[in-house]
Amino acid sequence: MPEIALSQAPAHIRMGSSIGQSLTRREGVLKTTGTARFAADNHPPGMVYAVLAVSSIARGRVTSLDVAAAKAHSGVIEVMTPANTPRLAQDPDAKLHPFMFRIEVLQNDTVRYVNQPIAVVVAETLEAATEGALLLAPAYETEPARTGLDSNDSFIPQAVGAGGPAEETHGDVDAGLAAASARIEAVYETPAQYHNAMEPHSVVAAWDGNTLSLDMPTQAMAMTQGRIAGLFGIAPEDIHIRSPFLGGGFGSKALGSGPQVLGIIAARLVGRPVKLVLRREQMFGPVGHRAPTRQTMRLGTDDQGALTALSHHVKTATSTFDDFIEPAANASHALYASPAIKTSHEAVRLDTGTPLFMRAPGEAPGSAALESAIDEMALACGMDPLAFRLKNYAEVEPMSGKPFSSKALRQCYEQGAERFGWAARPLAPRQMRDDAGMLVGWGMGTAVFPALMFQGHARAVLRQDGTGVVEIGAHDMGQGAWTALAQIAADALGLDPDQTEFRSGTSDLPDAGIAGGSAHTATAGAAIHDAGGDVIAKLADLATGDQRSPLFGANNAGVIARGGRLYRRDDEARSESYTDILTRAGHAEIEGRGTGASDPAALSAYAMYAHGAVFAEVKVDPDFGQVRVTRLVGAFAAGTVVNPRMVRSQYYGGMIWGVSFALHEHAVMDKRTGRPMNPNLAEYHVPVNADVPNIEAILVEERDVHVNALGIKGVGEIGITGTAGAIANAVWHATGVRVRRFPITLDQLIGA
């Protein structure tokens, strides 16, 4: 790979043997043997158990709780209700920045949604706490629940997502549609979807005076630390969070949740360490979800199949007490060239928990509608879906006109189509059957996700014995961060991976930023790269300024760090080991610091995205409408690939989530009560092994010198954005039935 110059000239690093290798997971043995310690695996001395009692109504107030019955139960220590819950130093409804959301922590008796915490029972055993919670027998004053997108007046939100505009326009959409030779208008619906990571939200909290120790799954330790510090009126540095492993996060663990805060309050109230773990059904409410959407797509083309206008309008939902608006229409900003584009959002307030970030927020539901509409438009033009996409290929970002920092989408189309065999696809539907008489269909979808970065920090140390240490408060929720970031660390220090100690997962280490938005490897990796550059620069200064060193006077030429040695760039025969440099200088170790963040100049000049193309094969029973995905091929371009094994794993996960979106996942709500009817993994359907088809992920080579110093783009969420639409399009190709309501269920296809 090419040499990467660091800002701390004269030192330079050559990206070496570690980046680009498919190394196995560093924590793999721990996880497969059950010795990896997740938050709820911790049991400090004297620990007791807390269990939530939650509301069974969506709107109203709690009028009574049988606290006496619960406290009379053997083993129950305390029952925490709004009557005795300590007041917090900060209003839990305060919103001081866009990533702060209102939480329910027993500050009053109001009920805002089903499964809202209404009490906490603390006991010596989990069984006693659970039975005590059942004895509370709450009574309510109930008001009618507002459920569904038509149950309340809509409004235009001030912002969508993390603060973006609700409406954006480029060109004259109405004029473009009026001038079009072919037009379509269609409405697509996506359901509410709820976070169901294998590890539920939990906390083990222990107070020692005003210092607080927490074991909890979090995707943003420093942000969570600051939020908790504000709520309890203590300094952030007095809070120590341990979060080495997460059993999945997907956005729901990016912010401290109300139940976790209640566990911390309970620990302070009883004066003992407390463990609180949500039951599966309790995750349907207080920890965020993806809101339902109703999306109206209007497209027009000229007589050559070129888009003349694209309009994408979204109606979605938020809670009655806070705002998070799914930015679904934003999926139409970046993919297809059109002289006129308009995206807009409206919302209704429902009696639910507040929707929050959920894997590929906005892009997942938005791309499902967009990619379905693109196929419908291709049909109206009589064009092959891939040919139509290539006809409307965007050479610059359509909405802004910015050039892309890099874009290898054509190569994704080409390589994916060739591997899948797309050229053999008949244009008309219902033309293919297998030997068993099943209808066979082929569909495709374009994948896209912004190449985001947050801000992170790292510390790097070189020791006199020739080994190194890199420290960063990063988060591994299954994506392979412990491995990929360690590879970057080794290369940044010019060492082999087995010579580099990697420390992560606690809040006393430098803040790595948020593990979200598919930005963690880029953010934390850039910080590590910068820290390595800093320490190598200091080491180079020691050597090049020392007349006893073979590197003396190499300041202008610079040096290369590789294999535990510094080499003169202009004469690699002259080198010296890290050990010799530090020993002669009398240093036991030398330290560097680094920061990873977006370059504002690059952000203003370029549009930054990862791209891909997903091709799907489905088989549909013509009598019963049952759909099976039998083959998926995805081709993705996402800049520098640190670890191909980890990247493929992320692409597979994204495509499987796309299968879930298209065919399985759906929160069924009782419209009368606002109660989720399937709050468990038996009835809230997600793919199991039998549902996962033959999957292949192609890593398309791409180099991006603008996105960050390492050229890394995110890979975690992009796989969803192409897959759901590809499957919907394949179902149409198999059956001739265009289903516009997700998930695609057999009742919509029976007799197809």
Closest listed residue to residue 253, CA positions, set 201, 326, 194, 322 = 201
Question: Which of 104, 199, 471, 717 is the catalytic position?
Answer: 717
- Tokens 């992320």: give the residue: 650
Asked if 356 and 193 touch (Cβ cutoff 8 Å), the reply is no
Judging by DSSP bridges, how do beta strands 565-568 and 439-450 pair with one another? unpaired
DSSP 8-state symbol, 226:
H
State the CB neighbour count (10 A cutoff) for residue 595.
Answer: 17
List all residues 6 or more positions away from 625 whose beta carbon is below 8 Å from its beta carbon: 745, 746, 747, 748, 749, 750, 751, 752
Q: Which helix (H) or strand (E) is 312 found in, with range?
A: strand 307-319
563: left (phi over 0), alpha (psi -120 to 50) or beta: left
What would the 3-class secondary structure string for 528-594 be?
A: HHHHHHHHHHHHHHHHHCCCCCCCCCCCCCCEEEECCEEEECCEEEEEEEHHHHHHHHCCCEEEEEE
Q: φ and ψ at 521, to 5 degrees?
A: -65, -40
Residue 325 phi/psi, 5-degree rounding, is -105, 120
Cα separations (Å) of 308 from 67, 228, 471?
A: 65, 51, 52
Beta strand pairing call for 559-562 and 11-14? parallel
In this structure, what token pair is assigned to residue 598?
Answer: 């977006």
Q: How far is CA 295 from CA 68, 186, 308, 311, 553, in A?
A: 50, 8, 20, 10, 65
Instruction: Give the other-Cβ count within 10 Å of 713's Cβ.
Output: 31
Q: What is the DSSP letter of 159?
A: -
Cβ–Cβ < 8 Å for 501, 542? no
The 8-class DSSP code of residue 734 comes to: H
Question: Using H for helix, E for strand and C for coil, what is the string for 661-728?
Answer: HHHCCCCCECCCCCCECCCCCCCCCCCCHHHCCEEEEEECCCCCCCCCCCCECCCCCHHHHHHHHHHH
* Residue (of 288, 370, 357) closest to 326 by Cα position: 357
Contacts of 363 (CB under 8 A, 6+ apart): 328, 330, 331, 448, 449, 717, 720, 721
Is 189 labeled as catalytic in the residue annotation? Answer: no
Strands annotated E in 6-82? 11-14, 48-54, 60-64, 76-80
- Residue 329 — φ and ψ, nearest 5°? -70, -20
- The structure tokens listed for 607 are 């549009």
d(CA 741, CA 728): 10
How many helices (H) does the chain have, and how many strands (E)? Answer: 15, 32
Q: What is the DSSP string of 396-425?
A: B-TTT-PBBS---HHHHHHHHHHHHTGGG-
Amino acid identity, residue 105? V
Neighbours of 94 (CB within 10 A): 11
How far is Cα 71 from Cα 637, in angstroms, rounded to an integer? 59
Q: Catalytic amino acids?
A: 717
